[in-house]
Structure 1
Amino acid sequence: MRQPWRIAVVGGGISGLAAAVRLRDLTPADTEITIFEQSGMLGGKLRTGELAGSPVEFGAESFLMRDPAGADSAAVALARRLGLGDALVHPTVGQAALVVDGALRPVPGGTLVGVPGDLGQVTAVAQPATDADRDTGRPLLAPGEDVSVGALVRSRFGDEICERLVDPMLGGVYAGRADTLSLNATMPALSRTARTAHTLTGAVRAAQAAAPRPTGAPVFATVDGGLSRLVAAAAQAAGATIRLNTAVRELNATRDGWQLTVGPTPAAQTVTADAVVLALPARHAARLLAGLDPASAATVGELDYASVALITLVLPEPQLPKLSGFLVPADQGLTIKASTFFTTKWGHLRRPDGLALVRASVGRYGEEAALQVSDAELAALAHREISQVVGAPLPTPVATHVQRWGGALPQYTPGHLERVAAVRAALRPAYPTLAVVGAAYDGVGIPVCVRSGETGAEEIIKALEESGS
């Protein structure tokens, strides 16, 4: 067996970093791991900055504590592996609200991403259709069937439940719309139970029963000091050579492994590797896959993305509701789609000087025009609309920050998981030492991205061992 192995990880977001850590943990000590990152920093959508002397998340805010089976999520397990277990902190205020008819109404309990298991609990927010969720004597979905979340919810509960509950919940996670997002990809637990349950309320209850949460157990966590600590710790643990500002322009298979063309065209370099982890957004991955499998590259490249902007305001002693924040249904006449009251939600961020951090997000799929204004205009918009929602003018900010994420959130249309499975089924036999990982394939959220990277690393290690290379 040839040693040391040389493994290239293309993409320095959390999926690529998780892959690199797993490679370091499971390969011989002399394995050479190189991370190629096109931008000037690692972490992808995990980015902690500073505003008015406080750490502020300019990207992802937190992660789920548990996986679908009830164990630690992959993000929690990674944090513990990196020595950050004691730095995990949880929300001190968990109640969020929905903006409905100009008022803040608490998000009803007992729902699954907004889909209710008890229609009686949601009537303060939305009225369900009468008798639509009847038992017709057959499961909601046939084996292998995929539909949009909106199609299923509208057919069973009516339009209001979809538009006032489910759509804003999905919009907060995916910046997408319930009517175009795949049930199988975005709500896998409900997708599974919908193949046996005859009513949607029954499917929701079955999905909730399959993943019980201990009473009082925290749902979310973040890292004290910011999620960039997780990024830095992963980079250190990987023991990799890190090449920032270095794009991989071509990827070619060779008889002995892989050849990567990296860097700008006038000064391109050739790098060889025994295995490659592609942890890139879909269109970048498709470009590199085009010379290997044009059909798979075309399928990967079809995935579309939504763009968003996150606007953070630092406010002197604002009068805010005791909520973690609010979500805005698309029909409520506001441009912002959500707001988080950071220093209310996260007790560890509260400041003795009374300054509060408030964040708003703008950008739903198909509404990119809302982002075509200046940072100052976005900050003014957020200030004005949050004031409108809370019913009182907010103080003038002492500092603001606008973080734009162009093409940030993948839009999984029905059939997404089947398309991903077909791509991997085509690539794996021909190129067993190549893994495609990340949100483009397996879902958004830090735990899913971590697990995707780890799984890809494990697959190529197995392939290297079996090849005897």
Structure 2
Amino acid sequence: MRIAVVGGGISGLVAAYRLRTLLGAGADIVVIDRADRVGGILHTGELAGEPLDLGAEAFVGRRHEVPELLREVGLEQQLVVPAGRRPLVWSGGVAHLLPERTLMGIPSTAESMRGLVDHDTLARIAAEPHRPLAWYPDADIDVYSLVADRFGAQVAERSVDPLLGGVYAGSSRSIGVRAALPTLAAALDDGAPSLTHAVAAAMPPPTNAPVFGGIRDGYRVLLHALAERSGARVLTATSATRLARATRGWVVDPVGVVDAVILATPAPITARLLRPIAPAAASAAAGIELSSSVVVALSLPRDTALPENSGILVATGERLRAKAFTLSSRKWPHLAARETALVRVSFGKFGDSAPLSWSDEELIAAATEDLATVTGVPIGPLEAVVQRWPGGLAQYAPGHPDRIAEIESAIADLDNLAIAGAYLHGVGVPACVASGDRAAHHIAARYASLH
């Protein structure tokens, strides 16, 4: 069986690896990617002579996919967890501890917001359970509209936006409730009488387990292991220009005729390839917008007096160019042991592509100046690396789950074709791993049914 996996990000590499485990040594698997390397938005660069992730640097630790995959490919010893320090949020020109016991920044109590929002907003949060709630099951709205109406704009802009900006490079105005907060939507659908009650019902149970996990030597070790163990031919700097039906299977230019294909590509590329064969799916995929961002990684003198926190998120409306600061040497014990202090500064949200056009020098200057503002200490970088991510993250707008259901329904009858990627059922690394694994099982099951 000959299979083409279009897209060499984490979803595509997991798909190729899983196909090998399911189909054995006889399968001919080829992975193609338009970039000059595999990994997509997972990229381990080098700073101060040692590896550092310049894309995603962590994964949700409460999900099982990444730890299980690391164990499966013999990399269990690479799993690391953060030091457990709390992040800060920069709001009103002051650093506050990020509120605890929230659901993506939506509070479960008024008290958790004390100091971050004004007294009128605190009173509004406290009184919210007594206000009538109009919620229509199966409807979807943006997160801002829900939170600002029930708790006030300050909660959305100072608590919710900083977290959504980190996950989606978007904001509460661009992200839908159902896609970003499915447990909250389910609680509202089930008749929660208020947003306060819905948050309480949707909150995960308390646990001492780490919220996040990471990989000691960067995601590159996992990407390399997946590519090697897949036994696939990996063709980089190679774009798929056409997908068409063949007498038996598919034609993927420039690969040629294959028995099956997995499209592990961003939504716009998936839309272009599907348009001739599944126009309804292509139309739905084309409606998914992307957000761009930039990461500036700084190596600082080891004795730089950084706060004893994991990072600093920036509220909406602040006079800063950066949207977040990851204090990597404070967040990760294995990075704290290095000879220099490491900080990642993030720029760019949905609708703001300006940072992509700035020069490296301008970005580094903005990163150091903004970091000095939020920390209150002089910043003199020893070294800096700039990584741009044009169109790096899909925006899960209101109606996103319905859009994905439409895509999946429209391709359900296309034999030996599957899709995977961060635009489907979650942008995080665990969701992408699950996506690639699901696509591989789909193709293997169709193959088994014919033999």
Aligned-residue Cα RMSD (Å) equals 1.5
Cα 1:412–1:352, aligned 2, differ >3 Å: closer, same or farther? closer
Q: Aligned equivalents of 1:447 and 1:234: distance in 2?
A: 15
SS of the aligned residue for 2:170 comes to: coil
Deviations 1:30-64 (A, max 9, x none): 11111111111111111111111221111110111
Deviations 1:362-417 (A, max 9, x none): 101111123321111100111001101111222x2111111000011111111111
Amino acid at match of 1:343: S
Q: Which residue of 1 is the match for residue 325 of structure 2?
A: 339
Which residue of 443, 448, 451 maps to 1:465? Answer: 448
Q: Which residue of 2 is the match for residue 103 of structure 1?
A: 94
1:449 to partner: Cα distance: 0.6
SS of the aligned residue for 1:203 comes to: helix
Contact 1:307 1:364 (8 Å CA) reproduced? yes
1:219 lines up with 2:203 in the alignment = no
Q: Which runs of 5+ in 2 are unaligned?
A: none
Contact 2:110 2:123 (8 Å CA) reproduced? no
Contact 1:89 1:224 (8 Å CA) reproduced? yes
1:380 lines up with 2:365 in the alignment = yes
1:15 lines up with 2:11 in the alignment = yes
Q: Aligned equivalents of 2:338 and 2:22: distance in 1?
A: 46
Amino acid at match of 1:331: G
Amino acid at match of 1:281: P
Q: Aligned equivalents of 1:145 and 1:136: distance in 2?
A: 20
Deviations 1:135-173 (A, max 9, x none): 5677x6333211111111111111110110001110111
1:145 lines up with 2:139 in the alignment = yes
Q: Which residue of 2 is the match for residue 76 of structure 1?
A: 67
Cα 1:141–1:56, aligned 2, differ >3 Å: closer, same or farther? same
1:426 to partner: Cα distance: 1.2
Contact 2:143 2:177 (8 Å CA) reproduced? yes
1:255 to partner: Cα distance: 2.6
Q: Aligned equivalents of 1:94 and 1:83: distance in 2?
A: 29
Q: Aligned equivalents of 1:447 and 1:44: distance in 2?
A: 15
1:200 lines up with 2:195 in the alignment = yes
Normalising by structure 2, what TM-score?
0.95
Q: Which residue of 1 is the match for residue 375 of structure 2?
A: 390
Amino acid at match of 1:397: P
Deviations 1:225-258 (A, max 9, x none): 1111111111112111111111110001123101
Q: Which runs of 5+ in 1 are unaligned?
A: 263-269
1:133 lines up with 2:123 in the alignment = no
SS of the aligned residue for 1:406 comes to: strand
Amino acid at match of 1:420: I
Q: Which residue of 2 is the match for residue 408 of structure 1?
A: 392
Which residue of 123, 138, 141 maps to 2:114? Answer: 123
Contact 1:128 1:160 (8 Å CA) reproduced? no
Deviations 1:72-109 (A, max 9, x none): 2x122111111111210111143100001111110011
1:236 lines up with 2:225 in the alignment = no
Q: Which residue of 2 is the match for residue 294 of structure 1?
A: 279
1:424 lines up with 2:408 in the alignment = yes
Q: Aligned equivalents of 2:127 and 2:25: distance in 1?
A: 60
Q: Which residue of 2 is the match for residue 265 of structure 1?
A: none
1:34 lines up with 2:59 in the alignment = no
1:456 lines up with 2:451 in the alignment = no
Amino acid at match of 2:306: L
Amino acid at match of 1:323: N
Amino acid at match of 2:93: G
Which residue of 325, 334, 340 maps to 2:311? Answer: 325
Which residue of 269, 279, 285 maps to 1:284? Answer: 269
SS of the aligned residue for 2:412 comes to: helix
Q: Aligned equivalents of 1:404 and 1:244: distance in 2?
A: 19
Cα 1:38–1:371, aligned 2, differ >3 Å: closer, same or farther? closer
Q: Which residue of 1 is the match for residue 149 of structure 2?
A: 155
Q: Aligned equivalents of 1:28 and 1:381: distance in 2?
A: 51
Which residue of 367, 375, 378 maps to 2:352? Answer: 367
1:26 to partner: Cα distance: 1.4
Contact 2:296 2:385 (8 Å CA) reproduced? yes
Contact 1:115 1:204 (8 Å CA) reproduced? yes
Contact 1:129 1:157 (8 Å CA) reproduced? no
How many aligned positions are there? 445
Q: Which residue of 1 is the match for residue 51 of structure 2?
A: 55
SS of the aligned residue for 1:291 comes to: coil
Q: Which residue of 2 is the match for residue 267 of structure 1?
A: none
1:273 to partner: Cα distance: 1.2
SS of the aligned residue for 2:185 comes to: helix
Q: Which residue of 2 is the match for residue 184 of structure 1?
A: 178
1:24 to partner: Cα distance: 1.3
Q: Aligned equivalents of 1:124 and 1:106: distance in 2?
A: 9
Share of identical aligned residues, percent? Answer: 39
Q: Aligned equivalents of 1:412 and 1:255: distance in 2?
A: 37
1:352 to partner: Cα distance: 5.6
